[in-house]
A and B are shown apart, each in its own frame.
Chain A
């Protein structure tokens, strides 16, 4: 401690004085010795010379004394850095290869890490984001379903695990009275949501408990965006009213920009409690989701146990059909990032990490080659007194300088890559666009640069420590340092590179194969020339089912009149739109399932003509038709998947009855009149889920997607479709207008993204491995040039030389490929979630990857091998 303090003081102000003082002191020392010598009878000149001799090296002594005052050799580090920079300038092409390799490795890693950091690791943008949880109910089949309002009230009042909990539900409301009707995304919330998410008012106030009670006056809080775009940024807007679905709401506040509730784009907030009836039943489900703030130190599991106990108590005191429901509590961070996305990002991070290791191995072997070429220089320095530690430090510093330059260049590359990633990345990855090269990412880049510098740099240092002085000095030839151990080390690096490259090639091959499989997956309908108009009828104008039926009937008729439109059908949830709702069901003619075995199915609503318009195959029975009117017997059409779960043949399902809600829940009973082919509802690469279809005529829905079969490129009919919708009722907003192929294609966005990146990494790995193999073999040949020349001179054939050198190369490749195959095979299960249409442990893909790596290795090896066989024996031996 005391030493450090003194050093700090000296560094601050004493340093300059110290140099002069030491010099004075040593000269005084010399004077004293000289005087003594003179007293012994020496002539003054001789006395002074003798004193100098006895004292030793004055400057060096001064240096060493001064060093005692310095921080761990800062000056020598600077000197090493200068030396390193000089070394880079001295061999520019070598340095360029090393620095470029590092920049590629570090750049790719930094870019991917910044995505992983932004999407997976960055804390949630809420106060106490780590304690926020998503709340819901769960059953034996499904977890995270909506919580009922009454259950939520009990949870809120009786729990001991939460600081606070809020309830939220979304609604799309039509805004009228301010120009054209527009659809606004509203969120109905309990008044405490703003506190939980840290949202504050920029103008006016936020909801209070009083606004959130049944019977309270209708109030609305708008977001900054909505205020700007729809209300013109008027600062006097508080107190005005907003007409939503025909009801007038008083604007009480405008939120600060920035914070938003999860990833949903919300425009206005309404109080939820105002619309809820306190006399509702415990089993009355709407789509209410909960948001909870755990007490500090409470885990989600503990909170779940707490809520489950409340649910069990309620089942006894207030029995109902949902007594087996339990709670669902999951950290918000985990909910936002689905397991698939997490797996994808982690696989990408792993892959890019492998690329870095390959780059690192490459650089290590290059540095090793150079340091053996420098063996003579090192030997000389050892001979004139450089300590081993000093040499090691200098070599390491040089390598870190190179790594730092590579890292800086990598950072530039990463910035560019990140920009591109965000541009081409799927839009549904939360927080992807927020990825930047911020402090944690820069720290990561710095850390891997230093780590790579140390790791790659250790190889030559380890080698330098073993330099045999006399041999190195005596040999002085290019073969100096080609000892068995450094050669073996380089070979190990090549084997590792080949193995890792094989793993990456295998993984990217699998993903490319999966993407092709997904793109060619049968969607179950014909997405070509199909246009989809997503509509939402404003509830204020279309209150009755009849008005909804009439609107869609009229629209369909009008669109049919448009030239080039061949067929029109409508569906609630178009293919590729995902899961728009699922529910329990049972087949009445089958044995009643146990409570926890009731199956779930997606449900959808289609009109009579939809299956025809979409060109979906009817496997049995008939489509909906005129017979299926309101008041007639309730009918349904099921998909093949659902039919096969209960019946061996789709035909057998006809005439049977499907009970919606299963045996334990209320719901209508529907007669199965048809079985239709499976379609890719949740995406081309998703499993085909069981689905049952309601007839639109019997169960009209105000939100439908109108599909148009056109006679050519459907984009040409977009304007006509818009005009028809507007002509019928200009108060009906179009939510989206795109082709069915777009709907479907969007489902493959993530897969394309992951495949593209992994493919790039695979390519990068191959390139790096090729450079590495070339470098090491080339060096191997250079070191054996004389041996080859002698062999040729004594009569060896070129083919013998080729066999000899080729055997060396092949041995490395074979060992690498075997190790890589083992590695890829055992790591294949990591890819399970990303693979589609093929098995993860795919022998054919392994074979292809192996062949690709062999071809790359052979190409990289061919130049050194050519050099080996074309050694000019006579010249080489003369020069030697």
Chain B
């Protein structure tokens, strides 16, 4: 294992982060799995690579917790797809998780790269 991070390699999701990001991606509108993965990759400027092997189990977990719900719908290009939307419970979870993660990221940054 190398000790210096390879900037060309996509970042892996830390434990628990993918779920929060999925919730965030559904904040403005319902979306399907492919749409979610595209949204996350674009928003992170391709720092994140969304592996379907992680995305689908994460979606199932969110469904189990009733934070999102799913429904088959027609996509704009006329294809049938399963759309996920935030439930009210999921929305409150998102608010809580968002502030927690922002605090976490800022704290990490302060420790790792202190501004003199």
Query: Chain A interface (Cβ within 8 Å of chain B)?
Result: 2-3, 6-7, 21-22, 24-26, 28-29, 31-33, 35, 55-57, 60-62, 64-69
Q: How far is the CA of A61 from the CA of B53 in the complex (A)?
A: 5
CB-CB under 8 A from A57, the residues of chain B are 53
How many Cβ-Cβ contacts under 8 Å join chain A to chain B?
Answer: 65
Query: Chain B interface (Cβ within 8 Å of chain A)?
Result: 32-34, 51-53, 56-57, 59-61, 63-66, 75, 77, 79-82
CB-CB under 8 A from B56, the residues of chain A are 22, 26, 61-62, 64-65
Q: Does A2 contact B65, Cβ atoms closer than 8 Å? A: yes
Q: Does A25 contact B53, Cβ atoms closer than 8 Å? A: no
Q: How far is the CA of A35 from the CA of B81 in the complex (A)?
A: 13
Q: How far is the CA of A77 from the CA of B79 in the complex (A)?
A: 39
Q: Does B77 contact A65, Cβ atoms closer than 8 Å? A: no
Instruction: Pick from B32, B51, B63: contact of A29, CB below 8 A.
Output: B32
Q: Does A32 contact B53, Cβ atoms closer than 8 Å? A: no
Instruction: Pick from B34, B52, B66, B77: contact of A61, CB below 8 A.
Output: B52
Provide the main secondary structure of the chain A interface: helix
Q: Does B34 contact A33, Cβ atoms closer than 8 Å? A: yes
Q: Does A32 contact B61, Cβ atoms closer than 8 Å? A: no
Q: How far is the CA of A130 from the CA of B81 in the complex (A)?
A: 68
Q: Does A3 contact B61, Cβ atoms closer than 8 Å? A: yes
CB-CB under 8 A from A28, the residues of chain B are 32, 79-82
In chain B, what residue has the closest Cβ to A5? Answer: B64
Q: How far is the CA of A28 from the CA of B51 in the complex (A)?
A: 17
Q: How far is the CA of A25 from the CA of B55 in the complex (A)?
A: 13
Quote the shortest CB–CB distance from B102 to chain A (angstroms).
Answer: 26
In chain A, what residue has the closest Cβ to B75? Answer: A32
Q: How far is the CA of A33 from the CA of B81 in the complex (A)?
A: 12
Known contacts being A22-B56, A32-B75, A33-B34, is A69 close to B80, with CB within 8 Å? no
Quote the shortest CB–CB distance from B81 to chain A (angstroms).
Answer: 5
Q: Does A32 contact B32, Cβ atoms closer than 8 Å? A: yes
Q: Does B32 contact A68, Cβ atoms closer than 8 Å? A: no
Instruction: Name 12 A/B residue pairs within 8 A (Cβ), A-sorted.
Output: A25-B82, A26-B56, A28-B80, A29-B52, A32-B75, A32-B79, A56-B51, A56-B52, A65-B56, A65-B59, A68-B57, A69-B64
Q: Does A55 contact B52, Cβ atoms closer than 8 Å? A: yes
In chain B, what residue has the closest Cβ to A62? Answer: B56
CB-CB under 8 A from A7, the residues of chain B are 64
CB-CB under 8 A from B77, the residues of chain A are 32, 35
Q: Does B57 contact A64, Cβ atoms closer than 8 Å? A: yes
CB-CB under 8 A from A3, the residues of chain B are 61, 64-65
CB-CB under 8 A from B66, the residues of chain A are 2, 6
Q: How far is the CA of A22 from the CA of B70 in the complex (A)?
A: 12
Q: How far is the CA of A201 from the CA of B26 in the complex (A)?
A: 76
For the complex of A and B, list the 8 residue pairs with the smallest distance between their C-beta atoms, beginning with the closest: A68-B60, A65-B56, A6-B64, A25-B82, A3-B64, A68-B57, A29-B34, A32-B34
In chain B, what residue has the closest Cβ to A56? Answer: B52
Q: Does A68 contact B79, Cβ atoms closer than 8 Å? A: no
Q: Does B64 contact A60, Cβ atoms closer than 8 Å? A: no
Q: How far is the CA of A68 from the CA of B81 in the complex (A)?
A: 21
CB-CB under 8 A from B63, the residues of chain A are 6
Quote the shortest CB–CB distance from B32 to chain A (angstroms).
Answer: 7
CB-CB under 8 A from B64, the residues of chain A are 2-3, 6-7, 68-69
In chain B, what residue has the closest Cβ to A18? Answer: B60
Q: Does A65 contact B79, Cβ atoms closer than 8 Å? A: no
Q: How far is the CA of A62 from the CA of B32 in the complex (A)?
A: 16
CB-CB under 8 A from A69, the residues of chain B are 60, 64
In chain A, what residue has the closest Cβ to B60? Answer: A68
CB-CB under 8 A from A65, the residues of chain B are 56-57, 59-60
Q: Does A68 contact B53, Cβ atoms closer than 8 Å? A: no
Quote the shortest CB–CB distance from B61 to chain A (angstroms).
Answer: 5
CB-CB under 8 A from B51, the residues of chain A are 56
CB-CB under 8 A from A62, the residues of chain B are 56
Q: How far is the CA of A31 from the CA of B51 in the complex (A)?
A: 17
CB-CB under 8 A from A66, the residues of chain B are 60
Known contacts being A6-B64, A29-B33, A56-B52, is A35 close to B79, with CB within 8 Å? yes
Quote the shortest CB–CB distance from A275 to chain B (angstroms).
Answer: 77
Most buried by B among A2, A3, A29: A29
Q: How far is the CA of A6 from the CA of B68 in the complex (A)?
A: 13
Q: Does B65 contact A25, Cβ atoms closer than 8 Å? A: no
In chain A, what residue has the closest Cβ to B82? Answer: A25
Q: How far is the CA of A745 from the CA of B96 in the complex (A)?
A: 82
Quote the shortest CB–CB distance from A11 to chain B (angstroms).
Answer: 12
CB-CB under 8 A from B32, the residues of chain A are 28-29, 32
Quote the shortest CB–CB distance from A639 to chain B (angstroms).
Answer: 84
7 additional A-B residue pairs with CB within 8 Å, beyond A3-B64, A28-B79, A68-B64: A25-B33, A25-B81, A57-B53, A65-B57, A68-B57, A68-B60, A69-B60
Q: How far is the CA of A239 from the CA of B52 in the complex (A)?
A: 89
CB-CB under 8 A from A56, the residues of chain B are 51-53
CB-CB under 8 A from A67, the residues of chain B are 57
Quote the shortest CB–CB distance from B56 to chain A (angstroms).
Answer: 4
Q: How far is the CA of A68 from the CA of B65 in the complex (A)?
A: 12
Quote the shortest CB–CB distance from A847 to chain B (angstroms).
Answer: 60
CB-CB under 8 A from B82, the residues of chain A are 21, 24-25, 28
Q: How far is the CA of A369 from the CA of B26 in the complex (A)?
A: 55
Q: How far is the CA of A67 from the CA of B79 in the complex (A)?
A: 27
Quote the shortest CB–CB distance from B35 to chain A (angstroms).
Answer: 8
Q: How far is the CA of A61 from the CA of B65 in the complex (A)?
A: 20
CB-CB under 8 A from B65, the residues of chain A are 2-3, 6
Q: Does B53 contact A60, Cβ atoms closer than 8 Å? A: yes
Quote the shortest CB–CB distance from B70 to chain A (angstroms).
Answer: 8
In chain B, what residue has the closest Cβ to A4? Answer: B64
Q: How far is the CA of A22 from the CA of B52 in the complex (A)?
A: 12
Q: How far is the CA of A619 from the CA of B36 in the complex (A)?
A: 108
Quote the shortest CB–CB distance from B30 to chain A (angstroms).
Answer: 14
Q: How far is the CA of A6 from the CA of B33 in the complex (A)?
A: 21
Q: How far is the CA of A61 from the CA of B79 in the complex (A)?
A: 22
In chain B, what residue has the closest Cβ to A34? Answer: B79
CB-CB under 8 A from B81, the residues of chain A are 25, 28-29, 32
Q: How far is the CA of A535 from the CA of B33 in the complex (A)?
A: 97
In chain A, what residue has the closest Cβ to B55? Answer: A61
CB-CB under 8 A from A35, the residues of chain B are 77, 79
CB-CB under 8 A from A32, the residues of chain B are 32, 34, 75, 77, 79, 81
Quote the shortest CB–CB distance from A745 to chain B (angstroms).
Answer: 72
Q: Does A31 contact B60, Cβ atoms closer than 8 Å? A: no
Q: Does A31 contact B59, Cβ atoms closer than 8 Å? A: no
Quote the shortest CB–CB distance from A554 to chain B (angstroms).
Answer: 95
Quote the shortest CB–CB distance from B63 to chain A (angstroms).
Answer: 7
CB-CB under 8 A from A68, the residues of chain B are 57, 60-61, 64
In chain A, what residue has the closest Cβ to B80? Answer: A28
In chain A, what residue has the closest Cβ to B61? Answer: A68
Q: How far is the CA of A64 from the CA of B32 in the complex (A)?
A: 18
Q: How far is the CA of A55 from the CA of B64 in the complex (A)?
A: 24
CB-CB under 8 A from B59, the residues of chain A are 65
Quote the shortest CB–CB distance from A4 to chain B (angstroms).
Answer: 9
In chain B, what residue has the closest Cβ to A33? Answer: B34
Quote the shortest CB–CB distance from A681 to chain B (angstroms).
Answer: 77
Q: How far is the CA of A7 from the CA of B57 in the complex (A)?
A: 13
Q: How far is the CA of A387 from the CA of B75 in the complex (A)?
A: 39
Q: How far is the CA of A307 from the CA of B80 in the complex (A)?
A: 87
Quote the shortest CB–CB distance from B88 to chain A (angstroms).
Answer: 14
Q: Does A64 contact B79, Cβ atoms closer than 8 Å? A: no
Q: How far is the CA of A57 from the CA of B51 in the complex (A)?
A: 10
Q: Does A31 contact B79, Cβ atoms closer than 8 Å? A: yes
Q: How far is the CA of A60 from the CA of B66 in the complex (A)?
A: 24
Quote the shortest CB–CB distance from A19 to chain B (angstroms).
Answer: 12
Most buried by B among A2, A32, A69: A32
CB-CB under 8 A from A60, the residues of chain B are 53
Q: How far is the CA of A286 from the CA of B88 in the complex (A)?
A: 84
Quote the shortest CB–CB distance from A27 to chain B (angstroms).
Answer: 10
